[in-house]
Amino acid sequence: MNADLFKNPPLALDSQLFDASRFPLVRVRRRAIQPGCAFAWAAQMRRLLALATPFVIVAEHAGDETPDDFRLRAAWLRTHRAALGAHCRGFIVIEPRIEARAGTRETLRTLTEGSGVRTVVVSSMRVASELAPVLLKHTATKASARVSQSRAV
């Protein structure tokens, strides 16, 4: 069913920003994250949510993201908590530096707080690929619970 969804998607995703070729695993393309990309990112996230199908987002940690983009994306995530909790089964961030994972995990937890979206920081794409199906098996947590679960692996 999911493969059919992306052969004829009801809303096309920008393949330069999001790689949905392995949907429901959606990878944010690191090279596409440039200053000023927060608006395009938000538009793509709206399109993902409009599919009303569970998915997992995987992204490499972007320590060089501009403060303005970070604030805009954080505001968008706060505004869309309920929809995220209903359809996004997890955010997986790849941070290869072990000493940076705790800080990345805390930032991610803060961004998704109250949505019920599981957040995990991992060391590699291989680990993220193994973890994504596990997250997809979990049902959405109730948005009213306002609990964000976070781990570092």
Distance in angstroms (rounded) separating the CA atoms of residues 69 and 55:
23
pLDDT of residue 147: 39
Alpha carbons 123 and 18: distance in angstroms, whole number: 20
| CB contact burial 46-71 (16+ within 10 A = b; e otherwise) | ebbbebeebbbbbbbbbeebeeebee
Residue 63 confidence (pLDDT): 74
**Angstrom distance (rounded) from CA 118 to CA 141:** 9
pLDDT in the model for residue 6:
44
CA distance 104 to 63: 9
pLDDT 10s per residue in the chain (153 long)? 444 444 444 446 667 788 988 999 999 987 777 898 899 999 999 999 999 999 999 999 877 788 999 899 889 999 999 999 999 999 999 999 999 999 999 988 888 888 888 999 999 999 999 999 999 987 655 433 433 444 555
The H or E element containing residue 49 is helix 38-50
What are the residues whose beta carbons fall under 8 Å from the beta carbon of 49, sequence distance 6 or more? 80, 83, 84, 87, 88
pLDDT value at residue 32: 76
Domain ranges of the chain: 2-152
Which pLDDT value is given to residue 150?
47
CB 119 within 8 A of CB 153: no
Q: Which CATH architecture has domain 2-152?
A: 3-Layer(aba) Sandwich (3.40)
Q: What pLDDT does 138 receive? A: 78
- Give how far Cα 90 sits from Cα of 83, 87, 111, 116, 132, Å: 13, 9, 12, 9, 8
Mapped onto helix, strand or coil, the DSSP state of residue 90 is: strand
C-alpha to C-alpha distance for 52 and 88, rounded to whole angstroms: 9
